[in-house]
Structure 1
């Protein structure tokens, strides 16, 4: 089994996105999924060895469901065109995970808080109000900027959030509703060379960013 077969399965699924096809190829799906879970367990073990603050996350817990949530998104296809997994979840999920997205349209490594709940968002804003300079120093590092793109869905507030003045020195950050970054990878990068080592290198570079955010919601 390999990432080649993972992408090939996603292509076939995308061309036959219906329950009948999935039922006929259920064994193939489980073979790909189980192989990917084993790979996630290997990465999980490696990250735990290099980071004393890492929360071990078994692959079966990390991997996301292949089914789309049609209750909230009825117009989406039945199945996703990617495999997603979140490692370093923390206790009770109260932590910005290290996310791996392997898909047909895009593949990337990400981390932080994507559209966090109000309580978490308020904690992040309070931290930025207190020492936003430290956060800016992290995201403005040359090595960081060279590897990551700030995730911006264009949904930032147009005005200051409640409790903060319009002329706050960090108003650009306080308006944000997402605090996350991503590093895009190509299918060639995933399928050739040692993708596991690539994930470890990106994890290390992203760590100060995730550490800052995680402390804001756990301390």
Structure 2
């Protein structure tokens, strides 16, 4: 995969963010998109070999649209500044997300603002076995790779049914349960990029499995 070519294309798209420019350069876009899908297919096979519970996700199923949804976000540009995809994408679970962009490139996973039912299930899992999640989050290699949970909206009070002195009250206040690992440009352009992704995937896996088990029971 020519990631430098992809980043160069996204840079030019960002400078000329319009359907007219895209129409003139659509052949290049489709070439890069097809190459990205083929790269995702190879990565999909590799991750499946690492994880016996992996949910096969072909590149065409995992890749996201490059168009922004202007119906709900009319203030955004026509096109995104990145290529993004979700792998290990079983229905109704948190996938493993890859984003390659000019402003932000990252690997992420977990649950982004889950609905009330899923959020309730995650909180029940923390109430029942928060010690396991704390052990995952506190593992030195995990903290080095991801830092803390992604900072998003949190309750200022306590969730209904839980006391303020609950041992895991800070976890219970979260509305998003996700972690993020930033990807430097030099890593993306490195010949060892896929090895790097595999290491991050495995480090994240216990965290994602805890959440997915919580919302599947």
TM-score tier (shorter): over 0.9
1:66 is matched with: 66
- Are residue 85 (structure 1) and residue 78 (structure 2) matched? no
Partners of 2:143 and 2:104 in 1: how far apart?
Answer: 20
- Unpaired segments of 5 or more residues in structure 2? none
2:184 is matched with: 186
2:96 is matched with: 98
- Are residue 55 (structure 1) and residue 55 (structure 2) matched? yes
- TM-score, normalised via structure 2 length: 0.97
1:147 is matched with: 145
SS state at 1:146 partner: helix
Q: How does 1:148-167 map to 2 (within 5 A)?
A: 148-149=146-147, 150-153=149-152, 155-167=153-165
Q: Deviations over 1:122-166 (max 9, x none)?
A: 11001001110110001000010011132112x100011122122
- Unpaired segments of 5 or more residues in structure 1? none
- Runs of 4+ off more than 4 Å: none
SS state at 2:66 partner: coil
2:196 is matched with: 198
Partners of 1:111 and 1:123 in 2: how far apart?
Answer: 18
- TM-score, normalised via structure 1 length: 0.96
- Are residue 39 (structure 1) and residue 39 (structure 2) matched? yes
Q: Deviations over 1:92-127 (max 9, x none)?
A: 2x1110000111111110111111122111110010
Q: Deviations over 1:23-44 (max 9, x none)?
A: 1111110000000000000000
